[in-house]
Amino acid sequence: MKKALCIVSLLAGFGCFKTVAEHHFLAVQRDAGFQLATLSGQIRTQLGQTGFVAALSGFRALMADLLWIRAGSAFDRTEWPRMQMLLHAATQLQPRAVVFWEMAHFHMAYDAAHSMRLNVRQQPVAALRRVAELEYVQIGEDFLKAGLVFNPESAALWQRLGELYSRRRDDPARAAAAFTEAAKKPGALRFLRRMAAYELAKVPGKEREAYEQLRSLYAEGEQERLPNLVRLLRQLEEKLAVPEASRVYYQLSAPGSNGTQAPR
Amino acid sequence: MNQAQNPISLSLRRVWALSHNTFLELVRLKVFYFLLLFAFLIIGSSLFTVQFSFQNPLQVLKDVGLGAMSIFSWLLGLLCTANLLPKDMEDRTLYTILAKPVSRFEYLQGKLYGVFLLLGLSVLLMSLLFAGVLAIREQQEIAELARNLSPENLPAAVAEIRAATFQMNLLPGIALILLKAMLCSTLTLLLSTLATSSVFTVLTSVVVYLIGHVQGIAREAWLAGGQASPLLKVLVAGMALAFPDLQLFNVVDEIAVGTALPAQLFWQVAGFGGLYILVYFLLAQLVFSTREL
């Protein structure tokens, strides 16, 4: 009896301490990007009883891979709604895998959306095909935005969001904002700042801002003076009526400059 | 009273002799080779499994390898520990040992350290195989790149592949897999001191393992309050107080996708794991010290 009491009090005392400590450690781990996955009813449906138990028992990543492989077979059969559910479940199980979000958005916003556009056999009405296409573009965008909640520092996801706004939404303002954000993230590719400026140049009323950005990139040196950038600068200088003396083309053609671009 | 008959006397020499002996005993068990073979098969076959993968093969390779290490180290610890006491009682070895100047405290420690040694060896072997599999896959990827990329773009792409394959972060992740297996073994030892049959110990340990992984959900629900019935609240609170949160040790899933594990976080979890082991071992000792043999 004495021993039992001793065991129970030791367990209870340690239990109280460890409960508080575990709660604290979980918060610390979540702050560091761990333990972010959520196991919902939809995931249980996709995984089945055994798979769900396995996911609960510490084999979450393996189950996410399994769903990912199943999504691959859905892709082969162009079963887009099924693929969407599988991708959703896989990304929820492994939310820190940037490649999952990236590919999930790509398959929805590009592959599935394009497939909807060409789906003349099942949907002869062009307007309805367009609606279906836009729905999949939206699903792709939602994947990216959800991915960014879990991976806010991912330059790749911000870049994909910028590309989606630029290519699928024709929304240069939001594309420029996304590319600007991408360029600030660790490991960002250099061309992202150029992309942000190119997109900004398309936004009515933002030409001056775009011009300043392009000028600043131009000033960084030869590696930024690409034909597209120089051409756009020239167009903006014309549009904004920049004084001759401060134009890039004027400087390029000025005596002593080493500019190789053809001036006006 | 003889020093060794004191329930908490401790001689490192005697503990080492017992753990060394336990380790040799366990290494000779067929179950060790059987489980290790299965682990090797799964880790090795992941090289072929990735062919079915839909993009990102390296991640799948890591998930399969680390998942296999996690499940087999746990299983090995569970099956070996559950059999320790019943087997020694059945063979009467336990009585022979305890009749000598060896305390129950030393005996239990020796047995547990023997299991830890076995777990260390098996995790080391599995890690070596895993590293080998990763190296093979890395070479395959580099060969593929060499076929498709121009020579000036190749070095950067190769460096990227190498950085994605071998991450130093994997080492603390594997260390936590080992620690989790050690913790589960200590829990099994505790259950084994209470139980009379190894089947009961194995089944209870499996249940504890499952509960340990959902304990975090229960704990967070309990701490958040909510509208649950009083009975459910008591159940959830009991679960949170009595069982360890094994989910805290599952950090390899995120490490495999490139999330950096801060050193401070690693040491916090490792220290907490050590504390769990200590407390569960002390409980096991408390039960075993007065058990009728």
Q: What is the pLDDT of residues B119-143, one digit of tens each?
A: 999 999 999 999 999 899 888 888 8
Question: Residue A144 in contact with residue A157, Cβ under 8 Å?
Answer: yes
The three-state (H, E, C) secondary structure of B129-161, written as one string: HHHHHHHHHHHHHHHHHHHHCCCCCHHHHHHHH
Place of tokens 């190749």: B154
Cα–Cα dist A127/A199, whole Å:
28
Domain ranges of chain A: 51-186, 197-264
Poorest-pLDDT segment among A68-77, A216-225, B162-171, B205-214: B162-171
| Contact call for B67 and A62, based on CB within 8 A | yes
| A51-186: CATH number | 1.25.40.10
Overall average pLDDT of the B210-233 stretch: 84
| Contact call for A75 and B262, based on CB within 8 A | no
Dihedral (CA of B230, B232, B235, B241) sign: negative
For residue A217, which of A239, A241, A200 has the smallest C-alpha distance? A200
Dihedral (CA of A256, A259, A261, A263) sign: negative
Nearest to B286 among A6, A61, A75 (CB): A6
Residue A25's contacts (CB-CB under 8 Å, 6 or more residues apart) are B248, B268, B269, B272
Overall average pLDDT of the A217-245 stretch: 89
Helical segments of B28-103, H only:
30-49, 57-90, 93-99
Overall average pLDDT of the B255-274 stretch: 90
Tokens at B4, concatenated? 């060794």
Q: What pLDDT does A66 receive?
A: 87
Poorest-pLDDT segment among A17-21, A233-237, B1-5, B250-254: B1-5
Q: What is the pLDDT of residues A105-137, one digit of tens each?
A: 999 999 999 999 998 888 889 899 999 999 999
Nearest to A25 among B55, B246, B269 (CB): B269
Report the percentage of chain B scoring pLDDT > 90. 42
Tokens at B265, concatenated? 């976080």
Contacts with A, B 238-257, CB within 8 Å: 240-242, 244-248, 250-254, 256-257
Q: What is the mean pLDDT of chain B?
A: 87
Cα–Cα dist A170/A5, whole Å:
71
Q: What is the mean pLDDT of chain A?
A: 88
| Contact call for A19 and B59, based on CB within 8 A | no
Q: By the CB < 8 Å criterion, does B214 face chain A?
A: yes
Of residues A224 and A164, the one with the higher pLDDT is A164
Overall average pLDDT of the A210-222 stretch: 91
Overall average pLDDT of the A39-52 stretch: 79
pLDDT band, residue A261 (cuts 50/70/90): very low
Cα–Cα dist A92/A40, whole Å:
9
- Report the half-sphere exposure of A66 (CA within 13 A, side-chain side): 17
Q: What pLDDT does A264 receive?
A: 41
Of residues A243 and A166, the one with the higher pLDDT is A166
Q: How far is B24 from chain A (nearest CA, A)?
A: 30
Q: What pLDDT does A107 receive?
A: 95
Tokens at B101, concatenated? 């100047």
Closest-CA residue of B relative to A12 is B241
Question: Residue B244 in contact with residue B276, Cβ under 8 Å?
Answer: yes
Overall average pLDDT of the B209-213 stretch: 91
Q: Angle B154-165/B104-148 helices, nearest 10 degrees?
A: 160
Of residues B53 and A113, the one with the higher pLDDT is A113
Overall average pLDDT of the A144-161 stretch: 96
Rounded to two decimals, the ipTM of the complex is 0.82
